[in-house]
Chains A and B, each alone.
Chain A
Amino acid sequence: MCLAVPGKLIERDGHSGTVDVRGNRVQARLDVVPDVRLGDYVLVHAGFAISVLSDDEAAEALDLLDDPDEAMPHDGPLMP
């Protein structure tokens, strides 16, 4: 349940933003990462960005997601 996925913040409107998660656009609240900037990578959990990643961290995290052996198994829609 504590799954969190990395993505890039591509739009921001106050406390909300659009995060690009490997080509999927998801809405995320930004309340707990108030200093996030457009273009930053964030970890998204249950519709909330919970941390801002450095570019290196994001590259490493995205590499893991892109590796089919490492991707988390999904039986249906991604739940938090």
Chain B
Amino acid sequence: MTARSCHDLCRRIARRIEALPDRPVRLMEVCGTHTVAIHRAGLRGLLPPRLRLVSGPGCPVCVTPQTYVDALIELAGRPGVRVATYGDMIRVPGRSTTLERAMARGARVSVVYSIMEALSLARQAPAEQVVFAGVGFETTAPATAVGLKLAADERLANFTVLSAHKLIIPAMTALLESGDLAIDGFLCPGHVSVIIGADAYKPLAARFARPCVVAGFEAEEILRAIDLLVAQLADGRAEVENAYARVVTADGNRRAWALIEETFEPADTPWRGLGTIPGSGLAIRAELAHLDAARRFGLEITAREDDHGCRCGEVIRGAIEPPECPLFARTCTPANPVGPCMVSREGNCQACYKYSRAL
């Protein structure tokens, strides 16, 4: 990145915004890594006030429902059961506690970097039931798909997955359908798009007449994507453009997508803050039902939430900014988080607390 090119891009964006009708222009990013990059680089302060960057439901940890966390905590406390999870999940609050606090009281939880480690745990301890917490968007789901296939091939009898995998486009669709917040265009997530491909946004762009631009993670790449979005608005276009073409193709990774389709099927699934969204989740296929922890252990994940005064739900929807929550930076801080958006390194509240709190 060069300061010069960022400066030029910001000026160009400002000129384009001035030429648009005098109303706020709201662009939403739906990727936690973008949220962090935007706050860390201070991009909001570099852009004209009329251009609002709004963070949407892009942090998979944040959108995982409270009842899912409660199910993991309950499982990890059962005799002979071990929960294997990505580290991002252990501090996310359930209704009354977190996996981390449950661990301190003796619940069996292993933090893993990859599902391959969870499979190793199961192989090494045949007497223990290992439940892998399958969390994440399309970027992460192929890894879980491979893990499921390996477990099936090896006939691992003590390994299951509790799937909370989610698909981003149904969530973007639900936000637009709800109509309760104005979104003029989307900055589309870089690494989700590696898997689904830039063309995956075409039906959404066409149906709702909203421009969609796939963006990389460097400040300059994000500004370039914003410039393309604003140019489309100026021209009255609503197209899909790819500003991260060095990594993202039009078609995505077809092999990864095929693995997802072999092991999962779309399902209605609850999101924290958004309720249940049709076809937005990945449920384990009936052929692999013996590897589905929800079926093996009789668990039900619902949209029920106890919010403890936390307004994460509205932050996730982009309906409010973190400082509008009465708990933000008072009772809720990264050291003592109340809601998932402050727990997660990619949560809007934590990014805002760390980089933009003076605003």
Contacts and interface: CB of A to CB of B under 8 A. Distances in A.
A32 B144 CA distance: 12
A58 to B, nearest CB: 9
A4 B191 contact: yes
Contacts of A43: 191, 194, 247
A38 interface: no
Given A46-B113, A46-B115, A47-B113, A2 B142 contact: no
Interface string B19-59: 00000000000011100100010000000000000000001
A2 B189 contact: yes
Nearest to A4: B191
Contacts of B345: 73, 75, 79
A51 B182 CA distance: 34
Interface residues of A, number: 35
A31 interface: yes
Contacts, number: 123
Given A1-B60, A46-B136, A76-B87, A32 B253 contact: yes
A70 B146 contact: no
B36 A72 contact: yes
Interface string A58-80: 00110010010110110111111
A73 B354 CA distance: 11
A2 B31 contact: yes
Nearest to A45: B139
A1 B140 contact: yes
B136 A1 contact: yes
Interface of B: 1, 31-33, 36, 40, 59-61, 86-88, 113-117, 135-137, 139-140, 142-143, 146, 189-192, 194-195, 217-219, 246-247, 253, 255-256, 259, 344-346, 354
User: Top 5 A-B pairs ranked by shortest CB distance?
Assistant: A47-B114, A32-B256, A2-B191, A57-B246, A2-B139
27 contacts: A1-B33, A1-B88, A1-B135, A1-B136, A1-B140, A1-B346, A2-B32, A2-B139, A3-B33, A29-B143, A29-B146, A32-B255, A32-B256, A32-B259, A43-B194, A46-B143, A48-B114, A50-B194, A50-B256, A60-B246, A64-B218, A67-B1, A73-B36, A77-B87, A77-B113, A78-B113, A79-B88
